Structure 1
């Protein structure tokens, strides 16, 4: 296969950020140990999986650990790091700016700086921010600002605001529910219709959303909503294939998502090299013989969102 994939779900872990997390007693994210990361390691992974460019983002827990000012400072540090990386290797890296929600004023400030001054390719938002889900009216100023800039918004799950099931790490199932909750709450509060310029990407094939979309849409009838309209809004999101290139997940995703709304994702380095290869091989096997679908998911759909990567 020729080079050319655009990976919209790839993470970065700057050394200073990891040291800070460890100083705060955080050595895991989603139940996984914080992995080693380097730009050279990312490029090696991309070369092994025919990925031309990785659009990098910070994963959970983000930068807000309870202190607004510290969260904004750390977000600025991470975004400056990402901007320099993309500047040095624009052929291999893009990045989503980190936003310090639930500190709304700081989030708006840093979103504007990152998009206007640093040239970020979009922003990454956690599905829930210290228990408050995207779509909540508290986040309206940020959503309005992002809509004015026609921003790409990458939604990544965080740990649920609830106890984990013993023996079941959050990344295995809770992450999928967290994304589904955020998507449903965004539609519940009419965010896709009120802010139509936003391009919102949901991680991991949208969690449970493709499978449960009809059930969610029918539920909203009891709240005075038209189920067809709700279903249309739920399918208006974009979806990445990270950890989802399987013969059970892909049919549901592709039956649900709008044409042009499925993007390649790896989830490296939280997904180790073997896992990336496993799900990428699964995606290749599913796409086998369908050249148009292959090209669309690998790069064409992403280029519509990130034309600079052409």
Structure 2
């Protein structure tokens, strides 16, 4: 029986930490690195080994996975001093689970290829809570044979995976799914405020929408955090604006007018100005609460999903 592949895992934030934990639960050997010592300690307590740099983690494991907040950080982890490319052996695979623009991942994959490293792009969708349960969805771009080689590891982290095409393809669909999610979030907030101002019981309105043609995954999940008042989705305004920027850039590149996405991006800019870039993205709904003087609280909803 073939031994399972080992992986370096760099980037142990809200999302990456849960993905790495899923690999450990499935019996994979992983060596972790993060700028936050506490994040490393959480994974070491679950059975991971730790390293002093991405290069050291990569040299030990032979393959690498990253889950990072921006293309700039991904590039630094890949190519910078002590980066993955200085530790990975030729013929190794880098699995990039961060959300990037298409041009970003193509450029980074070319840099990896120059060092003899193969790339799979593998952004995920569904939210941090599904990552914690191993039920998130992977969107994969890359060579089919390379995907087959690493599919066991990908599906240890993700309940479903979709090979979208060559590298760059997953970036397009991931940006599309996130664009839809932010549009749905703003729409759900407006719907709930109409219910509030119309004198409805908000809990009953929530459940009625779930059972209706107007339902969405975002309403089912993020509306609960709005109704609780915690807003704690584990995803920030800055990250939302980054992804909306990718979408608007693709719209310009492909000649597609994105009127809704443009308006939603402007609303998120207002949210960042009001609450800060580190505020949870769901707090974009608080703009409506503040402007109307009416909150959207209802009993029976969780503080976290």
Q: TM-score, normalised by structure 1?
A: 0.29
Bigger radius of gyration: 2
Q: Which has the higher helix share?
A: 2
By relative contact order (CA 8 Å, sep 6+), the higher-ranking structure is 1
